[in-house]
Structure 1
Amino acid sequence: MSAILVTGADLAPQALDLLQDFDVVYAGKTPTEADLVALARQHDPVAIIVRYGKVGPAVMDAAPSLRVISKHGSGTDTIDKVAAKARGIEVVAAVGANAAAVAEQALALLLACAKSVVPLDARMHAGHWDKATHKSLELGGRTVGLLGLGAIGQRFAKMADAMGMRVIGFDPYAKDLPAYIASVDLETIWRESDAVSLHCPLTDENRGLLNADTLAKCKPGVIVVNTARGGLVDEAALLAAVRSGHVRGAGLDSFAVEPMAAGHPFQGQERIVLSPHIGGVTSDAYVNMGVGAARNVMEVLARRTVTAAENVGVT
């Protein structure tokens, strides 16, 4: 029986139903490269479903039968796609499977920042009543700038539009956008946005996209939300902008180094709302991502089998 390696501790039962003809091997919740290399050598999987950890050349070379690497989600930055292509290994993602979950998390973080949810909660629990002194930010009528207009970005845009926000976005690859999203350039995003929300994949070209220079171009009092990838943000620059007051608040679900280590400078900052990269972690998204990843594996393997059979027939 061919093996499928999962870089995690589990898969949704609905996904396992699709993979019942395979031996599914789990690497655990925090697999290292050495763990994955050892398991790949032991089981020689035809597919890897990526949940946690990174899959690079060493892991690929340890599995001669490997045909497909399938992401349990939409972001493939933890997979060395250049190395995979060089080895004839397909990389696929469950695009859109967690779009609703991540978009809702982004909205929750935006609202938490605009309405001071976390500090007011702490003050109330400490016995204070700040009604006479506190002013929240009303989002209706304000502009939100989206960086990335894929499934997640467009889902978030629809919710922001329903709240009465003006939605502008930058994505050179997006086509056929709904009427409530105005496609603009990056300079317009920085200049006109009252809130900036990141929804793009991390690439070498956009690493550190939100940095001291781009933050300085933003409106005073801008809100920053990141539910995409931590590498998109220069964390030191964002921290300085929050401390100076140029950034009103930041809602962050992803970070340059994960998990976040104790003593990180974001910790204890009143106007930075943190969550542990759980935007896509809901019971529904767990099933959707697992099923999407499993289906992608099955489709690629089926296509490869047909192609191989045809090649044999030709020869």
Structure 2
Amino acid sequence: MSLPTILVTGADLADQALAMLGDFCIVYAGKAPTEDDLVALAREHDPVAIIVRYGKVGAAVMDAAPALKAISKHGSGTDTIDKVAAKARGIEVVAAAGANAVAVAEQALALLLACAKSVVHLDARMHAGHWDKATHKSLELAGRTVGVVGLGAIGRRFAKMADALGMRVIGFDPFATDLPPFIQSVNLPTIWREADAISLHCPLTDENRGILNAATLSQCRRGVIVVNTARGGLIDEAALLAAVRSGHVMAAGLDSFVVEPMAPGHPFQGEKNFILSPHIGGVTSDAYVNMGVAAAANVLAVLARQSAVAV
């Protein structure tokens, strides 16, 4: 009797996760699977679960796998999964919430510091033989206000680090409860109005798509720093480009973009005061293991629960 299949929309999975899934046949879709790739693999192997690393899982993929019971995200953001289609088909969608919180929060802090301290610019100048000590002034973060949008595991971890730097932390999250005392809960207009730096840590939804746009950026303090390690769709990229060029936004540190991978010739490339990284906030050796183990555990929990219901 053949083992049930789990489809991984990636090229690998942590050994620790694989050890948990020994009763399953693991099929990999590769580093950059298209929807057609996933449909073909789902039709061929009829997986009972999909662990989502890359690519999008929509209704067509689900319909190609009649045995599918669980879609487990290798990470916290589930915007690449059609949750409405999954619910209609009785397929549970689960995320490895918090598994990469430390990694992403540290990346957000690194981007914030790089923007405030002109790290990339000064490094380039030094390598070119310049010594700008007499002319350069960076930004001191202690005593300044950071606005954190999204106060889940990642946002709270980032807020804790910002507080340790001596920053005043204000945050917005309509679903957050039991906030630590160093986070002051406020509404979004207060963040736009009072923050010297804004860091985005919320999931992407239809309601908050483009939450940072020309109108909201115009409400922000001149010289604000924008950091995004969440989802690129939270930002109107054309509006941010204009705001940085005008000096209204001092700098932007971005780890996520509307279209990924970023296409050659993107307007941000080569642009002054943009510090970019290729959506690697959660890509550390520790987070890789944590996310894989959590994704595997979520699959096993869903399958066990559905088996119990079937009995």
TM-score of the pair, normalised by structure 2: 0.99
Q: 1:210 aligns to what?
A: 212
Partner of 1:269: 271
* Moved beyond 2 Å, runs of 4+: none
2:113 to 106, 111, 114: 111
Map of 1:70-219 to 2, 5 A cutoff?
A: 70-219=72-221
Aligned residue for 2:36?
34
Cα distance in structure 1, aligned partners of 2:193 and 2:45: 53
CA shift, 1:8, in A, is 0.2
Structure 2 residue identity aligned to 1:61: D
Letter in 2 for 1:84: A
Match of 1:289 in 2: 291
CA distance in 1, matches of 2:219, 2:135: 30
Deviation at 1:269, TM superposition (A): 1.2
SS of match in other structure, 1:256: coil
Distance between the aligned counterparts of 1:72 and 1:186, measured in 2?
30
The match for 2:25 is 23
Partner of 1:312: none
SS of residue matched to 1:28: coil
Query: Shift of the alpha carbon at 1:270?
Result: 1.9
3-state secondary structure, aligned to 2:268: coil
Q: In structure 2, which of residues 208, 224, 233 is the aligned counterpart of residue 222 of structure 1? A: 224
CA distance in 2, matches of 1:233, 1:188: 18
CA RMSD of aligned residues (A): 0.3
Distance 1:265 1:300 in 2: 43
Indicate the SS of the match to 1:42: helix
Q: % of aligned pairs identical?
A: 81
Deviations 1:63-107 (A, max 9, x none): 000000000000000000000000000000000000000000000
Instruction: Give how far 1:184 is off.
Output: 0.1
1:299, 1:198 → 2: CA distance? Answer: 31
Q: How many residues align?
A: 309
Q: Secondary structure at the match of 1:273?
A: strand
